[in-house]
Amino acid sequence: MRVIAIVLVVVLCAANASHHRLHGHVNRVLRKLHSVVPEPSPNASTHFYIDAVLDHFLDSVASPQTPKWGQQYHVDQTHWCGAGCPVFLLIGGEDPQGPPSARLFMTTLAAEAGAMTVSLEHRFFGESYPTADMSNHNLQYLTSNQALADLARFIEYLKSAATPDTFSQPPLQLRASASSSKFITFGSSYSGNLAAWFKLKYPSLTVGSVASSAPVFAEYDFEQYNQVVAAAFANPRIGGSKDCVAKIKQGVDALQSLVTVGGCEGDLRPDGCICEHKWNCKSESCAVPASKPTSNSTCGAIPSVPHALRPCTTPASPEDVGQYQQTVMGLFQILTQFNDQSYTASINTTCAHVLAEKSGLDALAAGRAHLEGNCGSNCPCIPSDYQKDSDLPVLQDINFSGGSDRQWIFMSCNEFGYFQTTTGANQPFKGFGAVDIEYAGYKTCRDAFNVSLDYKGPKGNSGRLMANTEYGGRALQGINITIPNGSMDPWHSLGITNRTDEFFSNTQHLSQQEQLVFIEDTSHCRDVYAPDIFDLEYLNYQKDSEAVQWAHAKVRANVLGYLQ
């Protein structure tokens, strides 16, 4: 159960493990790149804005008794040309937020525009703790509208910072006043939502925004995620094929009938034959004995589970099966979201391994082994004990420890949903029926936050999620918002798309001052990185595609246009 700025406000996209692969996406890619080719230390100073407000919507917000706290931020004046010049503000998302990286396209634009770059960490993440702990009571202050208000207050502070500065520790020292600087929001993924929504909610504070890969439509049962995974694995332009998807589906369908609660001894197989497959699982290894043919001559022998797909323990409950199925599925989901971004495996290489096998089971095992670093006979077993292997201890831990899972899952349960299931049509994981919304959504929220028995998803409003009512969903209706989206990004199905895209919704409405930049055949947040950032030896010198170059040109033109 794990669920992947003039002042230019840049919002990093984020990917959580297992059922939430949003969290930390860009930061994970940057860390991976840094581990191979270290990035020079940024020329940024680190501060805490100690005049941040716990609750922006109290009537007593101006009272000296209003709780204040310290929100971490970073400032880099390397490219700033001083008074009247832009400031690019990187809005932190659901992950610890460090200084703006030189490997971001935002920094490329900062060098061109003479902009200061600033990053502001999201409340409750990293080292930005507005409360003593993360109890259910205190998490009431973890909402998107509080985060947007944090941004507004912080920008006003930057514009009017007095000398000497008494609102930051250590005090902020700018080489000039930022009072006449213009602000643009620039974001991706959840924090891309914030970039777009900030322009809607506080239009006077920014002259524009770039909201990349932003899933602006909140949805409890996010079944479209796997539908885009299927489309990506079937896309020949990125190395996929329909045969690859069919092979994965064959493996899933075969595996789901083998790895069941208590094995399948005594139960009927899908073909009506008696299942004599018996598990002999102990601790971290699971030996699968040779299958024996049944007494019915029309029934064949039961295939053994391949080594790379063996569960660590015998599933004893539907939740254990869900844990197992979600882990197997998650490898293919993460690959799709990160395709051609810092990792040596790709849809192209994975499909080559899948199609090299004859049976679906062996194909699925080959795909898993490749995605685990070509582990072969050394592949670890697959977690299959919900109580032991899931994120439950982390989700139930109310203490701040630098992690992000409890916070992000709370926001998902409370506002956005985004729980990825296998219930949708036209995708290869439908056979993994244990990963439904009851398991991926309700049980997660119940175990982590003790939601009521009649919980049906995030806060609603007459059948519509409140987040969509508050921000408009796909009907943003703002001004000066640039919206890049990749066609092979699973999250684009909840965002703004081309009218010809499979996931286009008639509820989508943009104003004349908003522009979609739809990037064919690209994955999550691909436009966020500096040009040719993946042109490295270990990645076989991946140059930016023509589509990414085109997207960068569009974003650059819009950002410079917002500055006029």
Both structure tokens of 89: 């503000």
Quote the pLDDT of residue 11. Answer: 39
Question: How far out from the chain centre does Cα 315 lie?
Answer: 28
pLDDT, averaged across the chain: 88
Quote the pLDDT of residue 316. Answer: 87
**Statement: residue 268 has pLDDT above 90:** no
Quote the pLDDT of residue 62. Answer: 64
Span of 46-60, 144-158, 518-532, 548-562 with lowest mean pLDDT: 46-60
* Superfamily the domain 1-218+470-564 falls into: Alpha/Beta hydrolase fold, catalytic domain (3.40.50.1820)
CA atoms within 13 A on the CB side of 508: 21
- Pick the more confident residue, 224 or 66: 224
Q: What is the pLDDT of residues 348-382, one digit of tens each?
A: 999 999 999 999 999 999 999 999 999 988 999 99
Question: What pTM was computed for the model?
Answer: 0.91
**Statement: residue 270 has pLDDT above 80:** no
Quote the pLDDT of residue 1. Answer: 40
Q: pLDDT > 90: what percent of the chain?
A: 72
Contacts of 173 (CB under 8 A, 6+ apart): 165
Average pLDDT over residues 481-497: 97
| Three-state helix/strand/coil letters over 53-89 | ECCCCCCCCCCCCCCEEEEEEEEECCCCCCCCCCEEE
Q: How confident is the model at residue 274 (pLDDT cuts 50, 70, 90)?
A: low
Q: How confident is the model at residue 26 (pLDDT cuts 50, 70, 90)?
A: confident
Q: Are 449 and 398 in contact (CB under 8 A)?
A: no
- Pick the more confident residue, 182 or 391: 182
Quote the pLDDT of residue 185. Answer: 87
Q: pLDDT > 70: what percent of the chain?
A: 87
Both structure tokens of 143: 């909402």
Q: How confident is the model at residue 305 (pLDDT cuts 50, 70, 90)?
A: confident
Average pLDDT over residues 527-537: 92
Domains of the chain by residue range: 1-218+470-564, 219-263+318-457
Contacts of 277 (CB under 8 A, 6+ apart): 258, 263, 264, 265, 288, 291, 302
Quote the pLDDT of residue 282. Answer: 42
**Statement: residue 518 has pLDDT above 50:** yes
What values do phi and psi take at 143, rounded to 5?
-135, 160
Quote the pLDDT of residue 30. Answer: 83
Q: Exposure of 159 by Cβ count < 10 A (0-12 exposed, 13-18 middle, 19+ buried)? A: middle
**Statement: residue 419 has pLDDT above 90:** yes
Average pLDDT over residues 164-189: 93
Q: What is the pLDDT of residues 455-472, one digit of tens each?
A: 999 999 888 899 999 999
**Statement: residue 17 has pLDDT above 50:** no
Pairing, β 168-169 against β 44-53: antiparallel
- 3-state secondary structure (DSSP) of residue 179: coil
Quote the pLDDT of residue 83. Answer: 95
Average pLDDT over residues 481-496: 97
Quote the pLDDT of residue 326. Answer: 96
Q: How confident is the model at residue 304 (pLDDT cuts 50, 70, 90)?
A: confident
Quote the pLDDT of residue 295. Answer: 47
Average pLDDT over residues 151-164: 90
Both structure tokens of 165: 């500065």
- Distance, in Å, from the CA atom of 31 to the CA atom of 35, rounded to the nearest integer, reads 6
Quote the pLDDT of residue 280. Answer: 46
Span of 160-174, 238-252, 280-294, 306-320 with lowest mean pLDDT: 280-294
Average pLDDT over residues 233-242: 98
Q: How confident is the model at residue 27 (pLDDT cuts 50, 70, 90)?
A: confident
Q: How confident is the model at residue 288 (pLDDT cuts 50, 70, 90)?
A: very low
Average pLDDT over residues 409-423: 97
Quote the pLDDT of residue 301. Answer: 54
Q: Are 484 and 210 in contact (CB under 8 A)?
A: yes
- Pick the more confident residue, 292 or 409: 409
Quote the pLDDT of residue 281. Answer: 45
Taking Cα atoms as reference points, which of 169, 297, 203, 162 lies closest to residue 9? Answer: 203
Q: How confident is the model at residue 71 (pLDDT cuts 50, 70, 90)?
A: very high
Residue type, 228: V
Q: How confident is the model at residue 273 (pLDDT cuts 50, 70, 90)?
A: low
